A and B are shown apart, each in its own frame.
Chain A
Amino acid sequence: MRIIPFFIAAIISVALIVVLDTPLPVNGSHTPRLGYFLSPQTGFWQNAEADDMNFNENLSMTGLQGNANVYFDDRMVPHVYAENEHDAIFLQGYLHAKFRLWQMDFQSYAAGGRLSEIMGDSSSGTNFLKIDRFFRRLGMVDGAEQSLAALEANPVTKAYADAYTEGVNQYISTLKDKDIPFEYKLLNYKPEKWTNMKSVLFMKYMAFDLAGFEQDFEMTNAKSIFSKTEMAALYPYGQDSLDPIIPKCTKFGAPAFSMKPPADADSIYFNYYKNAATTDSIIKPDKSNGSNNWAVSGSKTQSGRPILCNDPHLGLNLPSLWYEMQITTPQFSAYGATFPGAPSVVIGFNDSCAWGFTNAMRDVRDYYEIKFKDSTKQEYWYDSAWQKTTFRDEVIHIKGKPDRTEHIAETVWGPVMYDNNFPDILHSGKSYACHWQAQDGSNEIKTFRALDYANNYDDYLNALKDYECPGQNMIFACKRGDIAIKQNGKFPAKWRGQGDFLMPGENDTFAWRGFIPDSANIVMHNPPRGFVSSANQYPYDTSYPYYLGGNYPEFRGYLINRYLSSMQNITATDMEKLQTNNYNVFQEMARPFLLKYLDQSALSANEIKYLEIYTQWNLQNDAKEKGPTIEKLWWDSLMTTVYSDEFAQSSLPLPWPEKSTLLDGLLRDTLNYIFLDNINTAQKETLQEDITIAYKKIIPVLEKAENENNLVWGKFKKSGIRHLLRIPVLSRLNLFSSGGETEINALKEFHGPSWRMVVELTDSTQAYGIYPGGQSGNPGSKYYDNFINDWVEGNYYPLLFLKEETIKNLPGLKGKMVFKKA
Chain B
Amino acid sequence: MKFFVSILLVALLGFAAPLYLPWWSFAITTFIVLFFLRQTPGKSFLAGFLGLFFLWGINAFWLDMANNHLLSQKVAVILPLGGSAILLIILTAFIGGLVSGFAGLAAGYVGERSRT
Chain A positions within 8 Å of B, measured between CB atoms, are: 1-3, 5-6, 9-10, 12-13, 16-17, 20-21, 34-36, 38-52, 182, 186, 727-730, 779-782
Contact = CB atoms under 8 A, between A and B. Distances in A.
Contacts of B18: 39, 41-42
Given A48-B71, A51-B68, A779-B71, A39 B114 contact: no
Q: Main SS of the interface on chain B?
A: helix
B109 A36 contact: no
Contacts of B27: 13, 17
Nearest to A41: B18
B51 interface: no
A186 B114 CA distance: 45
Contacts of B63: 40, 45-46, 48, 50
Nearest to B45: A9
A48 B63 CA distance: 7
Residue among A34, A48, A52 with the highest chain B CB neighbour number at 10 A: A48
Contacts of B41: 5, 9
Q: Which 7 A-B pairs have CB atoms at the shortest separation, nearest pair first?
A: A780-B71, A48-B67, A40-B59, A6-B109, A9-B106, A50-B66, A729-B77
Given A6-B110, A13-B105, A45-B71, 17 more contacts: A2-B109, A2-B114, A2-B115, A9-B106, A12-B102, A13-B103, A20-B95, A35-B99, A36-B23, A39-B18, A39-B23, A40-B63, A41-B18, A42-B18, A50-B66, A50-B67, A729-B78
B75 A40 contact: no
A10 B23 contact: no
Contacts of B115: 2
A38 B81 CA distance: 13
Interface string B35-70: 000000100000000000000100110011011101
B71 A47 contact: yes
Contact of A39 (B31, B56, B74): B56
A5 B104 CA distance: 12
Given A3-B114, A13-B106, A35-B24, A48 B99 contact: no
Contacts of B110: 1, 6
Residue among A38, A42, A44 with the highest chain B CB neighbour number at 10 A: A38
Given A17-B24, A35-B23, A780-B71, A40 B106 contact: no
Contacts of A10: 102, 106
A10 B102 CA distance: 7
Contacts of B22: 21, 36
A729 B75 CA distance: 8
A48 B70 contact: yes
A40 B60 contact: yes
A54 to B, nearest CB: 13
A119 B83 CA distance: 25
Contacts of A2: 109, 112-115
Nearest to A3: B114
Contacts of B113: 1-2
Q: How large is the interface on B (under 10, 10 to 19, 20 to 34, 35 or more residues)?
A: 35 or more
Nearest to B103: A13
B91 interface: yes
Given A39-B18, A40-B63, A729-B78, A780 B102 contact: no
A171 B115 CA distance: 59
Given A2-B115, A50-B67, A780-B70, A38 B95 contact: yes
Nearest to A730: B74
A40 B92 contact: yes
B59 A1 contact: no
A289 B102 CA distance: 57
B12 interface: no
Given A49-B67, A51-B68, A729-B77, A42 B23 contact: yes
Contacts of B15: 41
Contacts of B112: 1-2
Interface of B: 15, 18-19, 22-24, 27, 31, 41, 56, 59-60, 63-64, 66-68, 70-72, 74-75, 77-78, 83, 91-92, 95-96, 98-99, 102-103, 105-106, 108-115
B61 to A, nearest CB: 9
B78 A186 contact: yes
A691 to B, nearest CB: 45
19 contacts: A1-B109, A1-B111, A1-B112, A2-B109, A2-B113, A6-B109, A13-B105, A13-B106, A20-B24, A34-B95, A35-B99, A39-B23, A45-B60, A50-B66, A729-B77, A779-B71, A780-B67, A781-B70, A782-B70
Residue among B64, B78, B111 with the highest chain A CB neighbour number at 10 A: B78
A17 B103 CA distance: 10
Nearest to A19: B99
Nearest to B105: A9
Residue among B64, B71, B114 with the highest chain A CB neighbour number at 10 A: B71
Contact of A44 (B75, B99, B114): B75
B106 A6 contact: yes
A51 B66 contact: yes
Contact of A727 (B70, B78, B83, B91): B78
A51 B96 CA distance: 26
Contacts of B91: 38
A236 B105 CA distance: 78
A3 B66 CA distance: 46
Given A16-B98, A42-B18, A45-B64, A779 B74 contact: yes
A727 B77 CA distance: 10
Nearest to A182: B71
A181 to B, nearest CB: 12
A1 B38 CA distance: 12
Contacts of B92: 38-40, 45
Contacts of A781: 70
A39 B23 CA distance: 7
B66 A20 contact: no
Given A1-B112, A779-B71, A782-B70, A21 B95 contact: no
A1 B63 CA distance: 41
A43 B63 CA distance: 12
Residue among B98, B99, B108 with the highest chain A CB neighbour number at 10 A: B99
Contacts of A782: 68, 70
A318 to B, nearest CB: 12
A705 B66 CA distance: 41
A20 to B, nearest CB: 7
A188 to B, nearest CB: 13
Contact of A41 (B31, B59, B66, B103): B59
Contact of A13 (B23, B75, B96, B99): B99
Nearest to A49: B67
Nearest to B112: A2
Nearest to A21: B24
Contacts of B71: 44-45, 47-49, 182, 779-780
B22 to A, nearest CB: 8
A300 B80 CA distance: 57
A41 B23 contact: yes
Contacts of B72: 45, 48
Contacts of A779: 70-71, 74
A722 to B, nearest CB: 14
Nearest to A31: B79
Contacts of B111: 1
A49 B110 CA distance: 43
Contacts of A182: 71
Contacts of A42: 18, 23
Contacts of A17: 24, 27, 99
A1 to B, nearest CB: 5
